[in-house]
C-alpha cells in the first residue's frame, strides 16, 4: 500500500502508537487523550481501516510492510536528527519489534505490549496452532467485515509466525498484570529474554489499553520518560 494513514495530536516528543488487531485504532481514544499531555501522539493506521478503507480487499499482511510503513510515518513527522518513542500492542507490538530491528537509530525507546510471538516458546508451533484455532472460532460464522475479521483473515497467521532478532536495544516488553499465567504473558517474558529487553507488567490484560486507559497511559509515560 503506497498511502500512509495516520493522525497526529498533542505536543512534546513524538510517540508513535501501533494498534493491535488489524491496526484500527478503535477504543484507543481515552488512552491517546491522556498521552497527549506528554507527547505528540502519532497514531498509525497501516491498512487505513479508520480512514475509509474497511471495505477494501486485502492480501495477507507482512510484518516488514507494517514496520516500513511505520518508518515512513516517522520520516514524515520527525525533523532531521530527531528520534521517537514507540508503543505497540499485540500485532502492533510485533511491528514495533521489527521497526526497532530495522531502524534503531530513529527510536528513543520502544514498548512492545504482549506481542504474540508464540513460536519463540519451546512448544510454540503447537501453541500457535491452538491460538489460531481459538480465535478463528470466535467469528467463524460471521460474514460481517470488521477490523477483527480482517485481523483473523490476513494478520493473525503471518504475524504469529514472526520471530524477533536477539539483542534489540532500548526495549521494554510488557505484559498485562491480569494476563499472568496465560499464554501471552509467558510469551512476553520469553520475548524479553530473547531480545535482551526489559520486562514490565502493565494494568489490565491483553486489552488493557481499553480496560484501564488512564492507568495504562500513565505506565507508558513512566516507562518511556524514565528511559530517557
Q: What secondary structure does DSSP assign to 113-156, as a single string?
A: ES---GGGSTTHHHHHHHHHHHHHHHSTT-----HHHHHHHHTH
2: confidence class by pLDDT, cuts 50, 70, 90 = low
What pLDDT was estimated at residue 4?
95
Dmax (CA) for the chain in angstroms is 50
Better-predicted residue by pLDDT, 170 or 2 = 170
Measured at the alpha carbon of residue 43, what is the angle toward residues 14 and 152, in degrees to the nearest 5? 140
The predicted pLDDT at position 56 comes to 87
* pLDDT band per the 50, 70, 90 thresholds, residue 134: confident
Instruction: Note the pLDDT of residue 113.
Output: 98
**What would the mean pLDDT of 141-145 be, rounded to a whole number?**
63
* Domains, the chain, with CATH or none: 6-227 (3.40.50.1820)
DSSP conformation class of 181: T
Tell me what percent of the residues of the chain surpass a pLDDT of 90.
89
Per the DSSP assignment, residues forming a β-bridge with 18 are 88
Would you say 49 and 23 are in contact if contact means Cβ atoms under 8 Å apart? yes
What is the predicted pLDDT for the residue at 136?
A: 77
The C-alpha atoms of residue 101 and residue 85 are separated, in whole angstroms, by 14
Q: What is the pLDDT of residues 203-220, one digit of tens each?
A: 999 999 999 999 999 999
pLDDT band at 138 (very low <50, low <70, confident <90, very high): low
pLDDT the model gives residue 141: 47
- From 13, 15, 14, 17, select the one nearest 5 (Cα to Cα): 17
**pLDDT confidence bin for 182, thresholds 50/70/90:** very high
Extract the C-alpha cell encoding 159: 504475524
- The span from the CA of 22 to the CA of 222, in Å, is 27
Average pLDDT over every residue of 77-84: 94
Residues 9-60 have pLDDT tens digits of 999 999 999 999 999 999 999 999 999 999 999 999 999 999 999 888 899 9
- Sequence-ordered list of residues with C-beta below 8 angstroms from that of 228, at least 6 positions apart, any chain: 108, 109
Mean pLDDT in residue range 147-156: 93
Partner residues linked to 175 by β-bridges: 201
Q: Any residues with CB less than 8 A from the CB of 214 and at least 6 apart, and which?
A: 30, 34
Strand partners, 110: 86, 171
Amino acid at each position: 500500500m503506497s498511502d500512509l494513514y495516520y493522525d497526529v495530536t498533542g505536543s512534546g516528543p513524538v510517540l508513535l502508537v501501533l494498534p493491535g488487531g488489524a491496526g484500527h485504532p478503535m477504543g484507543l481514544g481515552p488512552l491517546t487523550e491522556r498521552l497527549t499531555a506528554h507527547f505528540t501522539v502519532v497514531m498509525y493506521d497501516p491498512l487505513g481501516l479508520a480512514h475509509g478503507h474497511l471495505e477494501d480487499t486485502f492480501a495477507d499482511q507482512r510484518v516488514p510492510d507494517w514496520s516500513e510503513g511505520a518508518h515512513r510515518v516517522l520520516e514524515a513527522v520527525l525533523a532531521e536528527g530527531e528520534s521517537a518513542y514507540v508503543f505497540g500492542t499485540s500485532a502492533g507490538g510485533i511491528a514495533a519489534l521489527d521497526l526497532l530491528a530495522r531502524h534503531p537509530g530513529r527510536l528513543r525507546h520502544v514498548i512492545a505490549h504482549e506481542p504474540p510471538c508464540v513460536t519463540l516458546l519451546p512448544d510454540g508451533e503447537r501453541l500457535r496452532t491452538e491460538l489460531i484455532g481459538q480465535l478463528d472460532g470466535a467469528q467463524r460464522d460471521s460474514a460481517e467485515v470488521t477490523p477483527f475479521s480482517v485481523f483473523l483473515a490476513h494478520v493473525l497467521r503471518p504475524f504469529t509466525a514472526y520471530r524477533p532478532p536477539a539483542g534489540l536495544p532500548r526495549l521494554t516488553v510488557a505484559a498485562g498484570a491480569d494476563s499472568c499465567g496465560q499464554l501471552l504473558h509467558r510469551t512476553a517474558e520469553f520475548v524479553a529474554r530473547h531480545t535482551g529487553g526489559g520486562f514490565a507488567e502493565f494494568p489490565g490484560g491483553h486489552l488493557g489499553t481499553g480496560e484501564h486507559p488512564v492507568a495504562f497511559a500513565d505506565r507508558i509515560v513512566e516507562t518511556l520518560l524514565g528511559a530517557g
